[in-house]
Structure 1
């Protein structure tokens, strides 16, 4: 009975963790999977979203996830500005590969240093009605600090999937990665579409950051822990596939949770990335890749 208890709780924890991983990764699925922009600084913007939620929660007592929703337009504008700089500096010169990667590495460290200068290296946390509460379902205990972010994450992915498949702009985002010339012949500006898509990818960081600080205390450099995970999930699920991102994130979360429960947390990353290697050996395009 005790082992069943452990397995059930580990599975639930892994699924909830996977929902959070999906929220962190969805922006990379758009920027890297669809636009082929290797935004290595993405986790740093997630941490920036965490600090925005922290400041609003500390100053006004606002729910951090509500703050994340309210901050979406701000992060969208930030993403549009970053893409414009990237486009003018690298894409127009055909230098978006290594030099573009260096640009995002620079953004990663500049954002991290700015947060350290502004907030120091102490861990920060938020207060919310559900942070210290859990649902007791007999053998299974479900912490609300994991459940609420997971549910909102699923809602965010559903909205993004609808936007990408049921709207003209969403279809144009998919088309711009496949044939920009054909898109231009249809009267759409490929640069504008790419700017919108990249801005959306950064906007997701506002909510993902709010989820992160609800789940655990944060400090400026903690985003580095997620760099490998987000790209692994993106590749595992299939580049540019939001359903694949969700499934890949859930798989990674469950594998990490089970490994940490029965073998120790130090083994979790190794086993998770081993799963990635096996999947790519069997199916190089990922689970939902074309």
Structure 2
């Protein structure tokens, strides 16, 4: 493909917008894996669950999915809290929180996928929102609202969670719980309750990310597997427990994917996440914002 500056600028702009969405996808992994040391492989399945909840909200209830996402995110938060209680009772409490816990999350992922297939089938679904069909032009750069709106929501969500983690007692306890469990107890916080709240937030963000996904593209029940590698790559690249790192890493991955897709072909773009992950592990295992 011939090089042109307008093509480059559009690829970078699309990559930044895609990165905003990727940040929404990966923030739950950063919380669960980076802060709580829980390898939640089922996270993409919760994302797809959020996509189909958004699909139902507009097609069955006539409710705008951006509005419905707030309600479903709250329900996801409480579901995540009870989900963590079960995980803690059967695995963490007994010390079996590694391989057996990983198998547990794999099982949950397939249960969610199969349930969605039985309910919705294997057909692709897409949300058609007329007000998102607009495309704005800034010089040579095109800004499709279908991609820009989810990017803005994703960035705002990450910033809001970072503000909560840094400015509230519970938020600071969440950041500390994976580093020093006893220190959390000494300052008067219940570490199990703290991890429960954190995991609830992680699931709530997955529901919102799912709503953003079905706005951007059509989805089917097994498509969430495509985001496993991306989410963990962003988490590691950003610095495991760093939300600012997650945001920066998501932007890097988004731009890298769109540049690869534009100038080398879309078949190469899925390899970018794993390539960046391998380079990070080789040259900076702590990640961009890691200590």
What TM-score, normalized to structure 2? 0.97
Q: List per-residue Cα deviations over 1:110-169 (Å, max 9, x = no partner).
A: 000000000000111112233321112231111101100111111111110011111000
Question: Which residue is equivalent to 1:151?
Answer: 152
Most deviating of 166-175 and 54-63 = 54-63
Q: List per-residue Cα deviations over 1:196-221 (Å, max 9, x = no partner).
A: 00111001012101100000011100
Q: Give the alignment of 1:244-283 within 5 angstroms.
A: 244-283=245-284
2: distance between equivalents of 1:272 and 1:101? 22
Q: Does 1:75 find its partner at 2:76?
A: yes
Structure 1 unmatched runs, 5+:
none
Question: Which residue is equivalent to 2:49?
Answer: 48
Q: List per-residue Cα deviations over 1:206-262 (Å, max 9, x = no partner).
A: 210110000001110000100111001100101010000011110001000000001
Q: Does 1:7 find its partner at 2:15?
A: no
Question: Which residue is equivalent to 2:119?
Answer: 118
Most deviating of 2-11 and 102-111 = 2-11
The CA RMSD measured in Å over matched residues stands at: 1.3
What TM-score, normalized to structure 1? 0.97
- Kindly state the Cα deviation for residue 273 of structure 1 after the two structures are TM-superposed: 2.5
- Kindly state the Cα deviation for residue 288 of structure 1 after the two structures are TM-superposed: 0.5
Aligned residues: 290
Question: Which residue is equivalent to 1:133?
Answer: 134
- Kindly state the Cα deviation for residue 2 of structure 1 after the two structures are TM-superposed: 7.2
2: distance between equivalents of 1:115 and 1:62? 21
SS of the residue 2:269 aligns to: helix
Checking the alignment, whether the CA contact within 8 Å between 1:68 and 1:209 is kept in structure 2 is: no
Checking the alignment, whether the CA contact within 8 Å between 2:233 and 2:273 is kept in structure 1 is: no
Checking the alignment, whether the CA contact within 8 Å between 1:57 and 1:127 is kept in structure 2 is: no
2: distance between equivalents of 1:274 and 1:192? 37
